[in-house]
Amino acid sequence: MSSFSSALALVLTLSGLAGAAGAEEDESEAPRRAFRADHMILDAALRGDRVFVATQSGRVEAYDWRKGTKLEAPLSLLPGPGRDLPPTISCVAVAPGGLRAAAASSDEQLWFFDPEGHGKELPPPLSTSGSVLACRFLDDRHLLLGNMRGELALVETDGGQEVYRRQLDYDPIYAISVSPDRSRVAIALRSSRIRVVDARSGRTLQVLEGHRDSVFALCWADDGVLISGSKDKRILYWDLTLDPPRSRTLYQGDRYVTAVAIDPAGTRLAATLEDHAIGLIELGTGRILRQLAGHTAPIQALAFTSEGRNLISAGNDARLLVWNLENPEEETGP
């Protein structure tokens, strides 16, 4: 799954997506449920039955995807002095244990909130160095932040102290993905490079060069395999167990690949395809198994539910869709 700034979201909205020739099933399938956010969705995070989305309008909205209900928004920012509009929420993340969530705004503020709500007041925001585009929890006590200046920071969630800050590049960090064993972090850069760093120190372990344009999306298939999606319209499969690491093209389409996600079994990849569709791709072969059509603008986030039976998608059309992957004929939501 991948995070973007409002500027990148605008670029993708104008550009669109494409490239899903050869799918076995070309028929459109209705989502199990559909939700409408109050503005463009730039990122999404899943915790159990709840989905949290970061919006262009300065809100983190929450939904119960199983019941089909919209919940009280855990975070809603007001316009600052002299501003007509609130800051954009660029990214949202939930800690592995589910006890804490975080969101970063375009005015260089980092917010923590309780994913369960419980009527608690929000703690005051923390100031960040540079506008944060991507945020992901390393564990329940540490949050990774990637900013416009190419800096990666590891922050303690209790108190907000920085464990480290590393200048990885001089281009924006578009996505962060933590390996399953939580020892390494993959960083997607506008420069087309991917850096794999040691999670606890931020030290660069590997530099992956294979894409020809900005990398927008990353996910780990297992501790030795990384999947990346790029503005160069390709999905690359990286074998990090080799020295040096090697890549092969898993898929090539006609437009940008903006989001990727691996199912819990590690056998299927969900990725953005042409006409704002989603492809379910067989990881070993790159064969497109199914297409899911429902979005009308670029998709910014994909996530499988824990049992792998449902897929969550969210995008610039302000829509959050829930797809039933086991029983497509099941009733659809509103």
Q: What is the pTM of this model?
A: 0.88
Dihedral, CA of residue 136, residue 138, residue 142 and residue 146, to nearest 10: -40
Residue 333 lies inside a defined structural domain of this protein: no
Residue 141 lies inside a defined structural domain of this protein: yes
Nearest to 193 by CA among 217, 211, 172, 220: 211
pLDDT of residue 81: 82
Nearest to 206 by CA among 168, 153, 258: 168
CATH number at residue 67: 2.130.10.10
What residues make up the domain containing 62?
6-324
Residue 21 lies inside a defined structural domain of this protein: yes
Token pair listed for 17: 């997506």
Residue 143 lies inside a defined structural domain of this protein: yes
Q: What is the pLDDT along the chain (334 residues), one digit of tens a residue?
A: 444 444 444 334 333 333 333 333 334 466 889 999 999 999 999 999 999 999 999 999 999 999 999 999 999 998 888 888 999 999 999 999 999 999 999 999 999 999 987 667 788 999 998 999 999 999 999 999 999 999 999 999 998 899 999 999 999 999 999 999 999 999 999 999 999 999 999 999 999 999 999 999 999 999 999 999 999 999 999 999 999 999 999 999 998 999 999 999 999 999 999 899 999 999 989 999 999 999 999 999 999 999 999 999 999 999 999 999 986 554 333 3
pLDDT of residue 16: 37
Tell me phi and psi for residue 12, to 5 degrees: -70, -35
Residue 332 lies inside a defined structural domain of this protein: no
Question: Which residues have a Cβ under 8 Å from the Cβ of 204 and sit 6 or more positions away?
Answer: 166, 168, 195, 196, 197
Token pair listed for 52: 């949290």
Residue 329 lies inside a defined structural domain of this protein: no
Q: For residues 23 and 268, give the distance between their C-alpha atoms in angstroms, rounded to a whole number.
A: 14
Number of domains in the chain: 1
Residue 276 lies inside a defined structural domain of this protein: yes
Q: Are 237 and 260 in contact (CB under 8 A)?
A: no
**The 89-94 sheet, strands edge to edge:** 89-94, 101-105, 109-113, 126-127
Residue 294 lies inside a defined structural domain of this protein: yes
Q: Are 104 and 146 in contact (CB under 8 A)?
A: no
**The 69-76 sheet, strands edge to edge:** 41-47, 50-55, 59-64, 69-76
Residue type, 308: G
CA distances from 137 to 18, 172, 183 (A): 31, 19, 12
* Longest Cα–Cα distance in the chain: 54
Nearest to 60 by CA among 228, 323, 311, 301: 301
List the end-to-end C-alpha distance of the chain, in Å, as a whole number. 25
